[in-house]
Amino acid sequence: MPVTTVLELVNDALKIALLISAPMLLTALVVGIVISLFQSVTQIQEMTLTFIPKILATFFALSLTLPWMMETLMDYFAKLFDTIPRMVL
């Protein structure tokens, strides 16, 4: 198995992992910043205020992007399973 093929597969796996996790992470980041600004403006320093909106927004982002995530993962695994027989030879 050539090293370049392994490096390409690992590189693709890392890119897919970043792409798949990006919508939820960015949503949680934006909601966290908005809530932090709200807390600093109103001087409400409740630590639990950030959890519920972040969880709801992340779940909403997951439900919106789940079909795209599954399609992306299916494409990657199809490419991976297509590549495996060629790597063995």
Query: For the segment 11-29, what is each residue's pLDDT rounded down to a tens digit?
Result: 999 999 999 999 999 999 9
Q: For residue 3, what are the CA distances in angstroms to 7, 70, 81, 82, 85?
A: 6, 28, 18, 17, 16
Domain extent for 69: 3-88
- Number of structural domains, the chain? 1
Encoding tokens for residue 88? 């063995």
Q: What is the pTM of this model?
A: 0.78
Query: Does the pLDDT at position 3 exceed 90?
Result: no
Query: Does the pLDDT at position 74 exceed 70?
Result: yes
Q: What's the chain's average pLDDT? A: 90
CB of 19 closer than 8 Å to CB of 41? no
